[in-house]
Amino acid sequence: MRLKKKERQDILIKTIEENPFITDEELSKNLCVSIQTIRLDRLELAIPEVRERIKNVASQSYDDSVRTLALEEIIGEIIDINLDQSAISIFEVANEHVFKRSLIARGHYLFAQANSLCVALINAETALTARANVQYIRPVKINERVVAKAKVLEKENTKGRTIVEVESYVGNDLVFLGEFQMHRSN
């Protein structure tokens, strides 16, 4: 019966994972054991009670709403930056970034990574994008890591714009190329 217990607990974990709102009573019915067994299992597996689980989901989403905004600020994680010179960011393509059918990243995410890298790069009160010219060289798939490298070509051209070139790679493959004209104020 040891296997059976292990098996049940595995199912228990998965069930709760995919539906944290389930009560012990429902679980006991699903798994055809007494409610006490479920509680022993939760005790062994250190799984909190329904209300705690729900509270966790809720408070996590509360934090997330902040985190989401913060994430949207900059698409990709900036790992190196030399103001007005160069910068590098990494962006991991997850399932929310891809077309469901093809699992290829939506173009605007690569754009967003490059664009927000340019914004971060500009050493000014506010930096706005004036123009952008981008090329998608190779489709980027889910789970790939895109490394974007930005380089300032002209710090201030005749129109007062900063020209930034961005090259994005997956491994050694160049996947995206962009030239951004940034406007700086103050």
Partner DNA sequence: ACTACTACTAGTATCTGGTCTTAAAAATGG
Partner DNA sequence: CCATTTTTAAGACCAGATACTAGTAGTAGT
**Which residues of this protein are in contact with DNA, per CB under 7 A?**
1-2, 4-5, 8, 23-25, 33-34, 36-37, 39-40, 42-43, 48-51
CB 73 within 8 A of CB 66: no
134 binds a copy of itself (CB under 8 A): yes
55 binds a copy of itself (CB under 8 A): yes
Q: Rounded to the nearest whole angstrom, what is the least distance from the CB of residue 24 to DNA in the complex?
A: 4
Judged by beta carbon distances under 5 to 8 A according to partner kind, the member of DNA, a copy of itself, none in contact with residue 82 is none
Q: Rounded to the nearest whole angstrom, what is the least distance from the CB of residue 82 to DNA in the complex?
A: 51
125 binds a copy of itself (CB under 8 A): yes
**Token output for 17:** 């994972």
Residue 179: how many other CB atoms lie within 10 Å: 16
Nearest by Cα to 181 from 127, 112, 124, 139: 127
CB 114 within 8 A of CB 166: yes
Residues 20-39 that bind a copy of itself (CB under 8 A): 20-21
Nearest by Cα to 130 from 186, 184, 181, 185: 181
Which residues, 6 or more positions from 158, have their beta carbon under 8 angstroms from its beta carbon? Answer: none
Kindly list the residues in this chain that would bind a copy of itself in the complex (CB under 8 A): 20-21, 51, 54-55, 57-62, 64, 68-69, 72, 75, 95-97, 99, 101-102, 104, 106-108, 111-112, 115-116, 119, 125-126, 128-136, 139
